[in-house]
Structure 1
């Protein structure tokens, strides 16, 4: 693995200094547990949040907004229970120890662009620049057009001993942790693999948000020929990763939402425990 694929640029400052309000059109959906390490029998409480800079508003439990909302524990995969309007969105009494993985797949939503410049800024931010030229090649309008989007979020939570391993769950796109941050000696580096339609994504951008206290650091990384990215992490950090795919929508999505583009957002959250 060539380390020159790992970190491109690093910015360290408060979130409001990194991205002033209104300058970035990228909004992640992410899962944020109240605690990433729990005792067996304790409640697993988590929020579905939508925002930017590793900060976002809480979303209610709403089955109309997701296709999948599940908890993987040991060899089981069960729906996250809830009632419409529940806040927090996840509140489950844990029954076993080991690595627990929350999985959330949203329904399709749409976003209207009134100016091409906003789409271009988003595409450059998420390293989707091929869409800028393709937009013109396809003869698409520049002043008023629609993008469809869907979110594929996961979160790693340790219950009891936290033993176990993340894996692919058949999402259209997803990020899989290749190490267990709660049990493995990471030596300052977390390995992940990015997938799209079950295949590794090669030379894809992974954006990483690291929260230490109230400060968030944002770094950008690339996957190698196996879809692997190697990310610098440290004890006491909370992490969010995202990787975005852009494609032409299928005929049904184009008709139903009027979309000319479709984006798919993979997201993963986890923490690295403090050193003993």
Structure 2
């Protein structure tokens, strides 16, 4: 048992360590997006592509913030080292609960320019190559630091309530409640960076149908950092938006990426 746990922890570390290089997303996946009051809420941390990924254990040295926000108050969550699922808690309060998970910064090295180009192309950073070369940076062997900021919305009981700015350096805020509001025109969201709207940010949309099939699309935010995400009843969603910025002077890495993710479901009629 100890050997299996050790292997799962090492494999999780390797998966997280190479994630942005392969344009992997990191998200919180609730076992159920709607639960009765008093139910144990279970959620998994996942890392992968196309809304499919390996489950990650609870690793306290990789966590900067792990909380549940409900009815305007935040409660810190503490699990046990190696827990899978990483989150399991009795949630007694009625209303919308938002699980927040922020990782500690991690580092990777780009061995080739092609790896970096694939990442920036996928995430829509058209101006980065010219900026990279203007800074006199090498085409290979350079490092990037990355941090994940994941949120998941779960309806407990009535599911009433609203998402909010939780103070993450970057995050996606739902401007409507997917469990109680009319989403016939889509779910409005806002992408924030350092507490301010992020205009012209690429939002990647992963939609999972009841049969498990995945569709992927992208949408830019407007001047207010907002976008209206088309949604379909019975589907679950992962939204992703990435900030890429030059590293502060004097660091041993040259780029920083900040990954915001939001997961939720739209109830079937």
- From 114, 122, 140, the equivalent of 2:119 is 122
Query: Conserved in 2, the CA contact under 8 Å of 1:177 and 1:192?
Result: yes
Q: Which residues of 2 match residues 1-276 of structure 1 at below 5 A?
A: 25-212=22-209, 213-251=211-249, 254=251, 258-275=252-269
Per-residue deviation at 1:128?
1.2
CA distance in 1, matches of 2:101, 2:248: 22
Cα-to-partner distance string for 1:51-71 (whole Å, 9 max, x where unaligned): 111011111111111110000
CA distance in 2, matches of 1:177, 1:75: 15
Unaligned runs of 5+ in 1: 1-23
TM-score, normalising length from structure 1?
0.88
Q: Which runs of 4+ in 1 moved over 2 A?
A: none
TM-score, normalising length from structure 2?
0.90
CA distance in 2, matches of 1:95, 1:261: 42
- Partner SS for 2:176: coil
User: How many aligned residue pairs are there?
Assistant: 249
Query: Conserved in 2, the CA contact under 8 Å of 1:165 and 1:178?
Result: yes
Unaligned runs of 5+ in 2: 1-20
- Give me the CA root mean square deviation: 1.3
Q: Name which structure has the greater RCO, CA cutoff 8 Å, separation 6+.
A: 1
Per-residue deviation at 1:191?
0.5
CA distance in 2, matches of 1:75, 1:206: 26
Per-residue deviation at 1:131?
1.3
